[in-house]
Structure 1
Amino acid sequence: MADIDRSLVRSLPLFADMADPDLDRILSRATMRRVPAGEAVFEQGQKANQFYLLLHGRLKVTQVTPEGQQIIVRVVHPGDLFGFAQALQRDDYPGTPVAAAESVVMCWPNEAWGSFVEQNPRLAVNAMRTIGQRLQEAHTRIREMSTEEVERRVAHAVLRLMAQAGRNEADGVRIDFPLSRQDVAEMTGTTLHTVSRLFSAWESQGIVKGGRQKLLIRDKERLEALAEGASVRN
């Protein structure tokens, strides 16, 4: 396989301030893979031999609980590491990342990580920072699930996605990947019926607009008010 051009990854936080020879050395061990929408990169419980970085697209990481319920534990955005099972001190993947849109991932064998950080400690610092951000997000979601009513949880989830994957348009900010109401239900620990009821109410109030699984936030201020527990009137 041809070498991966460093210009594809130079702007990613993981590789910030890295010298070209060091970056080229890391990329020489990488392979690149296209993942069509709806396809899994790997499956929950599969032996973890590699770790990954999302270069383009979006991934929804799902887990199936022992009771058989599917939940979405995180959304992977461009530049994010994922499948880093060794950071969790486990030898299998804890979830299944599924492409929400056509995606491009890079992967490395697990054994490459040790030599990477030995030769370039800055990589470890950057990786810890990005993993720490994801951990903070997970803690926030746990707190919301434990303490907040469902409307606040859903509003917070939509605002997070808007911050991470929002694209400004004339009528508002669009979440720039396919997002179904079922997805939102799985992210927030509620039911499809509840999310559908909330979204219908929000649409009637002009706060959001749905369509083709692309959610448009038309009134960020009122959505923020809902996330903080305020009542919103037409």
Structure 2
Amino acid sequence: MQKLDRSLIRGFDLFAAMNDEDLDAVLAPVEVRRLAKGDVVFAQGDPADSFFLLLHGRLKVVQVTPDGQQVIVRFVGPGEVYGVAVALGRADYPGTVRAAAESLTLSWRSEHWPALVSRQPRLALNTLQHVGARLQEAHTRIREMATEEAERRVAHTVLRLAEQAGRPTRDGILVDFPVSRQDIAEMTGTTLHTVSRILSAWEDRGLVEGGRQRIFVRAPDRLKVLAERSEAAG
């Protein structure tokens, strides 16, 4: 396999403290996989035989609840690790990962994890810090779904998407990968009808501009005020 150019990943936080020798050791067993939109990297319940880092594109992490409801847990962006069940002592993957856009991912077999973290302990630290941040985000979303009205939940979700994957323009912030209204419904624990009604009302007020697979936040400051207003004020 062609040697991976170090410059493609050196800028990612996961590898920031590594010298050339350590970086070469980490990259030696890596595999590269190209993903078309819709391709599944792994499915919920599959044996956790690999762990991954997204090099380019965007991935969607989905879980199916015991009652059969599909929930979008998060989106994965470039430079993020995912599928690190081996670091958490899990034998299987807790969710399904699917490409939301054309993507390029790196993968390592799970059996390489002990040797990699032995040589480069910061790899384990950075990975666990990343997992901790994702858990904190998940707890925030659970709190929002338990305590907030639908409009505020949708506002928080759109703002998070803009922060994590937004491309600033002269007229606002474009979420720079395809996101459907159904995706937002699955992220906020509400219905497609409710999300469509909320986004249509926001479009009329000039807060957002959307389409079937597009979100453009025209007034992020006003949307933030809406997200943070008290229930009493709502």
| Shared fold (TM-score, shorter chain, > 0.5) | yes
The separation in 2 between residues aligned to 1:91 and 1:103, in whole angstroms, is: 26
Match of 2:228 in 1: 228
Question: Retained in 1: the 8 A contact 2:62–2:74?
Answer: yes
TM-aligned CA deviation for residue 230 of structure 1: 6.1
Which residue of 2 is the match for residue 214 of structure 1?
Answer: 214
Structure 2 length-normalised TM: 0.95
Residue 181 of structure 1 corresponds to 181
8 Å CA contact retained: 1:52, 1:82: yes
* 1:143 alignment partner, SS class: helix
| Match runs of 1:5-84 below 5 Å | 5-84=5-84
> How far is the alpha carbon of 1:129 from its aligned partner?
1.8
Query: Residue 211 of structure 1: CA displacement?
Result: 2.4
What is the DSSP-based 3-state SS (H/G/I as helix, E as strand, rest coil) of the residue aligned with 1:164? helix
Percent identical residues = 60
Shift of residue 87 of structure 1? 3.1
In structure 2, the partner of 1:85 is 85
Aligned mates of 2:200, 2:212 — CA distance in 1: 15
What amino acid maps onto 1:221 in structure 2?
Answer: D
Q: Secondary structure at the match of 2:174?
A: strand
Structure 2 unaligned runs (5+)?
none
Q: Give 1:145 deviation, angstroms.
A: 1.2
Q: What is the aligned partner in structure 2 of residue 137 from structure 1?
A: 137
- Tell me the SS of whatever aligns to 1:161: helix
CA distance in 2, matches of 1:212, 1:23: 41
CA distance in 2, matches of 1:12, 1:88: 22
Structure 1 residue 214: deviation in Å? 1.6
Confirm or deny: 8 A CA contact 1:14 1:130 kept in the other structure.
Answer: no
Say what the alpha-carbon RMSD is for the aligned residues.
Answer: 1.2
**1:152 and 1:228 in contact (8 A); partners too:** yes
1:96 to partner: Cα distance: 0.8
Could you list the runs of 5+ residues in structure 1 that have no partner in the other structure?
none
Alpha-carbon offset, residue 88 of structure 1: 3.4
- Alignment correspondent of 1:193: 193
| Alpha-carbon distance, 1:9 to partner | 0.3
CA contact (8 A) 1:174 1:217 kept: yes
CA distance in 2, matches of 1:116, 1:34: 24
Q: What is the letter of the counterpart of residue 76 of structure 2?
A: V
2:151: which partner in 1?
Answer: 151
Letter in 2 for 1:141: R
Q: Distance in 2 between matches of 1:149 and 1:205?
A: 19
How far, CA to CA, are the matches of 1:229 and 1:89 in structure 2? Answer: 40
Provide, for residues 76-127 of structure 1, a one-character-per-residue CA deviation record: whole Å limited to 9, x for no partner: 1111111111233221111111111000110001111111111111222221
Q: Give the distance between the partners of 2:88 and 2:69, measured in 1 at CA.
A: 22
Secondary structure at 2:213 match in 1: coil
Kept after mapping to 1: 8 A contact 2:181/2:212:
no
SS in 2 for 1:93: coil
In structure 1, C-alpha distance between the alignment counterparts of 2:192 and 2:154, rounded to whole Å = 12
Indicate conservation of the 8 Å contact 2:64/2:71, yes or no: yes
CA distance in 2 between counterparts of 1:213 and 1:91 reads 35
Distance 1:133 1:56 in 2: 21
